[in-house]
Every structure is written in structure tokens, then in C-alpha cells.
Amino acid sequence: MAESEQGVPLLDLKAQHRTIAAELEKAIAGVFETQRFIGGPEVEALEREVAEYCGCAFAVGVSSGTDALLLAMMALGVGPGDEVITSTFTFFATAGSISRLCARPVFVDIEPEGFNLRPELVAKAITDRTRAIIPVHLFGQCAEMDPILEMAGQHGLAVVEDAAQAIGSEYRGRRAGAMGAAGCFSFFPSKNLGGPGDGGMITTGDEGLAAKMKALRNHGMEPKYYHKMIGGNFRLDALQAAVLRVKLRRLDDWSAARQRNAARYRELFAGCDAVTCPPELPERRHIYNQFSIRVPRRDRVRAHLASKRIGCEVYYPVPLHMQECFADLGPAKGELPEAERAAGEVLALPIYPELTAEQQGLVAAAVIEAVGG
């Protein structure tokens, strides 16, 4: 069956799996041979390898990207009455983790090019209750970190990088997760480095903070059965770690393939003014967890692609300040206009490494047809 008849999926994990299936089976079998399913050598090895990859001294494996955010803030002492400044244009976990600690998310608007926090608005949002700032490296491109880090230092605030979509991305030569007090990563299957289930990692350069997070991920237990803190069960499974170690060795090749696909999309859309491609901002390494274009009448374009069996997705249709559960926090609708405009225009197209040039041609042709040429 021709590709045009099959359609084009938003993500094809089976195509990736076929290239590494034998190696994954061997790694998984090794875990079963040891019967070390919780913690152990596979998790410890992955922690060392991720720390080295991100340019950090320490890494702590955890149960999900959400739990990475939660645990990092727990270790930093974020709690009731505190405020944490973050983006309104991100996945729910960023703000949900703040609220779960009985702290208050303070939502800030984004800059329109890279979809990340605008530092000057972060500065205006700082109060005497602010405890931390969570910049989000959205879609695989780092936020403008230097001014955020500078103002955090001036005010004694912790910076927790939400790097769930950005492993391997860079800002001025520094890797995501290596700039703040802690960096939080997700290994959800759809991520550039995805596991066979939930999983996450926290990176840090602070040995004491790393030790505290390792205790907190295991109910605050240190040593065994002695608890000075109340933590939780945030452990990373050894099976996840074994699979992720195999994939980590290929991550740079996969990221390079995504970058090539992004460049090809820019060529395909070059003559269509109605389509705005995501830019690569100066001094960044974009790893394209998503390739989110902006288009007018986005929902019509999305429906047209669906009719052609072409996968696409909206990340994210509702900014967090407009979510019902945060209605009492503000800002009101209309007060964060760039995020609201992005929510009505963005559309993520297939960008996975195994995507063929022919498939990309089908995607681009369908988008151009939908926007009227």
C-alpha cells in the first residue's frame, strides 16, 4: 500500500523499535537474570550516563517527569504559602506539581517565537513570597536562561528547569538541565528519549541536593527504615533504565535526524506565507521534540490533515491560566495574550527520526492545501 493511502502518523515508535529490538531484548533479559527490578546497577548506570550527557555532576532517576518536578521542589523546600513563577503555555504537570505542594503557581506570558518565558515578565512577577522559577524548555528549545538565572541570583530564588521535552538541547553551550539548581526530564514513550512506560530524571550540580532527592524518592528513608523526612515512592524501575541506556547511545543521531526533518519542512513551506515554522533562536541547539507550526484557522487545517490520515496534535489548546482548576489564581482571559494566541494557532506535525522525505512532502502538501496555497 502506498504511503499516501496509509497516511502519515504523528509518531511511529514501531519504526524506531525495529532498529534496536534485538539489543533491547538482550538488555531486558539481563535485568530478569539479575532479578534486580527496583534501583540497582541499571538505574545507577543510567544516572551516571545521563549526568555526563547533560553536563551535570549528579542525576537521580525517578518515576516520571511529573514526579521529577515534584521531587525537585520538595527537596528545595517549596511549600505552603510560596509562589513559583512559571509559563502558562506548557503541559499541566508544570503547574500541577506546584499546586500539589500547596504553593501557588504564578503564570507568566511567553515570547512568540520560541514559546518560552519572557524574562522581563518574570522580573515583574517576583514578590517577597516567590521561592522558585520554573522555565520550560518547550518543544525542545531552551528558554532565555541567562537573565532568568541572573534575577534568580539577585533575589535568592531557586531555578528548576522543566526540561521534559528538551534532553540534549543547549543554550549558549550549556545543556538543558545543567543551568538551574535542578533539571527535570521525562522519559514518557513519545519523548526523544522515551522508555517503555513512565520514567524521569533530575539533574543537579549540588551533591547535597542529589542526596536529599535520593532519600525523598524512597519515602525519605536514610538509612533503611529510618525517616528524617516524609518523601514518597518516586523510584525508577530497572527495566526502564535498561531500555533507556540502549536508547541514550542513539539519542544524538535521532536528534540530528529530527533537525534534518525540520530543515526539510522549512524548505517545503518556504513559499507559503500562511505557515510560520518554529525558528531556531540564536545560540541554541533545538532537538525538536515537536515541530509546531503556526497557521490561521488552525482547527480547519487540523481537520483537513485528519481527512488525509495525517497525524498532528495541538500542544496546547488551553493555557494554564485559563484552566478551570486554576480559575481563582488569575490572570484573567486576555491578560496573557501571546500564550492565548499561540493556543489558537499552533499545530505539531510529524517530526520523528524515521520520517521519510516522501512522507514529509505529503504532510506539507496537505497543510498548504488547507491554508489555501
State the average pLDDT over residues 150-177.
98
pLDDT tens, position by position, 176-187: 999 999 999 999
Give percent above pLDDT 70 in the chain: 98
CA 293, 294, 296, 300 dihedral sign is positive
Cell triple for residue 93?
Answer: 504537570
- Fold category of 16-248 in CATH: Aspartate Aminotransferase; domain 2 (3.40.640)
State the average pLDDT over residues 219-239.
96
In angstroms, the CA 347 to CA 202 distance is 29
Domain range summary for the chain, segments of one domain joined by +: 16-248, 251-370
CATH of domain 251-370: 3.90.1150.10
Asked if pLDDT for residue 312 goes beyond 80, the answer is yes
**Phi and psi dihedrals of 127, rounded to 5?**
-130, 180
For the chain, report the end-to-end CA distance as a whole number of angstroms: 28
pLDDT tens, position by position, 5-41: 579 999 999 999 999 999 999 999 999 999 999 999 9
In angstroms, the CA 267 to CA 244 distance is 33
Q: Are 312 and 303 in contact (CB under 8 A)?
A: no
| Whole-number pLDDT of residue 1 | 36
Judged by DSSP in three states, 31 sits in helix
| Interior angle at CA 117, CA 73 and CA 352, nearest 5 | 90
In angstroms, the CA 51 to CA 53 distance is 5
| Whole-number pLDDT of residue 183 | 98
Cell triple for residue 76?
Answer: 528545595
* Strand-strand pairing, 158-162 and 130-134: parallel
| Whole-number pLDDT of residue 349 | 98
pLDDT tens, position by position, 142-152: 999 999 999 99
State the average pLDDT over residues 335-347.
98
Residues 6+ positions from 200 with CB-CB distance below 8 Å = 61, 62, 63, 64, 65, 66, 67, 68, 164, 184, 185, 186, 187, 236
Query: Which pLDDT band holds residue 329 (cuts at 50, 70, 90)?
Result: very high
Cell triple for residue 325?
Answer: 482548576
pLDDT tens, position by position, 63-119: 999 999 999 999 999 999 999 999 999 999 999 999 999 999 999 999 999 999 999
Half-sphere exposure at residue 203, Cβ-oriented, CA atoms within 13 angstroms:
27
| Whole-number pLDDT of residue 373 | 61
State the chain's mean pLDDT as an integer. Answer: 96
Angle between helices 93-100 and 65-75 (to 10 degrees): 40
| Whole-number pLDDT of residue 300 | 97
Closest residue by Cα to residue 367 from 272, 289, 287, 254: 272
State the average pLDDT over residues 52-58.
98
Closest residue by Cα to residue 208 from 101, 49, 75: 75
**Which alpha helices (H) appear in the chain, and where do they start and end?**
3-6, 13-34, 41-54, 65-75, 93-100, 119-125, 145-155, 207-216, 238-248, 251-268, 298-307, 337-345, 357-370
Asked if pLDDT for residue 56 goes beyond 60, the answer is yes
In angstroms, the CA 183 to CA 50 distance is 11
Cell triple for residue 84?
Answer: 513559583
Asked if pLDDT for residue 2 goes beyond 60, the answer is no
Q: Are 56 and 183 in contact (CB under 8 A)?
A: yes
Give percent above pLDDT 90 in the chain: 97
Closest residue by Cα to residue 297 from 318, 274, 279, 322: 274
The pTM (predicted TM-score) of the whole model is 0.96
Judged by DSSP in three states, 243 sits in helix
